[in-house]
Structure 1
Amino acid sequence: MEVLPPARILPSAVEVTHDAYEQAYKELAKMLDGRYPLSFKRAVFISENAYFDSRLDYEEFNSQIVALSQLCRLLKTSNDPYFLYDRADKELVARNAAIFMMMKDSTRLGKGRVVAPFRYDFDDFNGDADWRKMFVSKLLISHKGNCHSLPFLYKMIADETGAPTWLSLAPNHIYLKQHNQKDGWYNTELTSRTFPNDAWLTASGYISKETIVSGIYMDTLSAKQNVVLCLVDLAKGYERRVGPAAAEPFILKCTELALLHFPHYINAQLLRAEALRHQFERQQSTATSQQAFAAMEAAYTRIFETGYREMPAQMYTDWLQAVVKEKAKYQTQH
């Protein structure tokens, strides 16, 4: 049963919410400019904690990640004798294998204790009705997540255990990239718990050659870029709490900083362009309308030049179903 703090905001709590988001922004900004060390785990927590007006407990959040990481280390040790991979990077590959095993299957701890696997939650998978559906804190409670929270959790555990893993972007989607000496680069898809190749992702995921060349999709993200993802999540969460109009200045501030450190991040570009469009629509009959139009036009031109084309919501839903069907087909054949 999920037990999460209420998401509804009361008029008297607006100032509290604003302060929580401002504090979160400042901490993420300090990570990005080098004043604080980069920590993806901390950045994820910061972006989620602000949504709850800073009422979550970082020590509790951290202890859950550490406990899962320790479980993965135990799984690796117990399965080492049966691990058939024989290249020089066996240790690193085994660390990733243990995380995947823990997330994919039930893990028995003895005395009837079982850690449930982490499954895909098809209910409101974009967080349209409830933004908390995107959160790792929700995933840790329910063991159900989406293509946002599942790879985020995997990445945090990988950071704890020293498993080389990179987040990567596709339209409306986040997945994982890894590398080994035997196969080279490969992908891990937690939606279906499979390892699709780049060609399959390109063919089925609405990814064009232009979007790959421009760097908005299918590249490995750096530690700093991972934190930028959380900064944009922070802006989106604030928009959900107070509404688009009230959130506009904060969105523009967050996306400006995000694009300073990750110029190709398409979600930051899209969020910024939408905020600038709303700004222009309000100022059409004012003296500043021409300036507002120029800013909006530049933002949308930049997006167009990346090769980005909007993936319809139904197409993404169909893509998710195709991923599940592909997995079922593979299991039947093998």
Structure 2
Amino acid sequence: MKYFILTLFVLLSNLVKAQDNRFYDDAFLTIDNMLTNKQPYSFKTAVLNVEEAYYQGKLDTAEVSRKIKFMANFAKKIVQNRDLTYEEKDKAAVSKYAAIFSVICQKTPIIVNSDTLEYKAFSYDFNDVFGHKDLSNLFVSKLVNTQKGNCNSLPYLYKILAEEIGADANLALAPNHIYIKHNIKSIGWYNTELTSGIFPQDAWLMASGFVHLDAIQNGVYMKALTNRESLALCLVDLANAYNRSFPKNDGTFPLRCALRALEVHPYLITALILKAETYKAQYQKLDSADSKAKELVTLLNKEYKHIHEVGYRNMPEGMYLEWLLSLKTERKKYEDVRLTH
């Protein structure tokens, strides 16, 4: 009887685990289907699938989508009612970029009947910036529900809103950081920094001291990511969420995500680090004399060497926050004046 109960318990535990994994498998399949053109591309769908997997299907995606739709419609209204002093052929696109920036970064008056209300801008949340305590602090769903976000959720929301109103937006990476890059006819490429609400020069990115020239040349940092490469970024997010949900996993699923992401963008630094860290976690579970352990050490050393060679340098979290704050304290030094004329 005891054996039967134990067997039943094991079977039920495995069933629950399989159901938990299903959300992650479904999210991976959704993103992979977009990459193989088996279903329409949608950055919003990819992002919310990752978050829903973490919440095990309990995220109210309909409510999150409703709030995103409201912001998208608000951006459209701004485009309709504001005429930019910009006369290049891409004025329609630039008007959309400016509208999304206003929705996220600027207090905007709204006339409702005879009353004038003030739309509240999003703010930077300095609580648990890296999601160490709670991974959901990095989520778009958390951002739209609280209007507080960080360098992960804010640029993700910007890209989502851009696609909702028929505009393009390129994510770009810096050490521990994500921002937006646009290319317009008047000045070419420029940066949009949503955590501070300004348009910084590349000099600000270089000022961190952790952007190696090799990293720029290899597209590790400061590269305008394509839509496909942004989906690869979501695969890394999915793996990180899985590791948080199942800290004792065997590494199979995270490696699957990392390898698929690297097929899309071979120099995606978050995927390269995920791959190396997964090998490290696998190695730490084995006896050092095990042949598999020796194989993993070889792989691990190879990965770390490659990561260094492509230009990655680890930026301490404290230094990152100081660098981020430098945009406000030294705004005049780093602001791209081409966008203020």
| TM-score under structure 1 length normalisation | 0.90
Report how far residue 330 of structure 1 moved.
8.8
Shift of 1:229: 0.9
Deviation at 1:75, TM superposition (A): 0.9
**Which deviations, in whole Å up to 9, do the C-alpha atoms of 1:140-163 show, x marking residues without a partner?**
000000000000000111112223
Which of 47, 51, 55 is the matching residue for 2:54?
51
Shift of 1:86: 1.8
The count of residues paired between Structure 1 and Structure 2 equals 320
Paired residue type of 2:142: K
What's the % identity of the aligned pairs?
38
- Match for 2:73: what amino acid? Q
Contact 2:125 2:149 in 1 (8 A): yes
**Contact 1:170/1:205 (8 A) holds in 2:** no
Over 3 Å counting, the alpha-carbon distance change for 1:138 and 1:38 in structure 2 is same
Contact 1:17 1:51 in 2 (8 A): no
Residue among 247, 264, 268 paired with 1:265: 268
The aligned counterpart of 1:177 is 181
3-state secondary structure, aligned to 1:246 = coil
- Partners of 1:171 and 1:330 lie apart in 2 by 17
Q: Do residues 219 (structure 1) and 220 (structure 2) align?
A: no
Match for residue 318 of structure 1? 322
Match of residue 238 from structure 1: 242
**Deviation by residue 1:3-27 (Cα, 9 ceiling, x = unmatched):** xxxxxxx999544322211221122
Structure-2 separation of matches of 1:12 and 1:282: 25
CA distance in 2, matches of 1:204, 1:296: 27
Distance 2:73 2:204 in 1: 34
Work out the CA distance in 2 between the residues paired with 1:100 and 1:39.
20
Kindly name which structure, 1 or 2, has the bigger radius of gyration based on alpha carbons.
Answer: 2
Runs of 5+ consecutive residues of structure 1 not aligned to the other structure: 1-9
**What stretches of structure 1 move > 3 A for 4+ residues in a row?**
10-16, 111-115, 327-331
> What CA distance in whole angstroms lies between the structure 2 residues aligned with 1:19 and 1:247?
16
Structure-2 change in CA distance of 1:141 and 1:113 (3 Å): farther
The residue aligned with 1:191 is 195
Letter in 1 for 2:120: A
- The answer to whether 1:134 aligns with 2:135 is no
Deviation of residue 132 (structure 1)? Answer: 0.5
Match 1:200 to one of 177, 198, 204? 204
Residues of 1 paired with 2:227 and 2:172: CA distance?
A: 12
Report matched runs for 1:279-290 at 5 Å: 279-283=282-286, 284-290=288-294
1:179 partner amino acid? N
Distance 1:151-1:12 versus aligned 2 partners, 3 A rule: same
Cα distance in 2 for partners of 1:112, 1:144 equals: 24
Partner of 2:300: 296
Residue segments in structure 2 that go unaligned for 5+ positions in a row: 1-12
Q: CA deviation at 1:85?
A: 1.3
Equivalence for 1:89: 90
1:27 equivalent in alignment to 2:33: no
Amino acid at match of 1:262: H
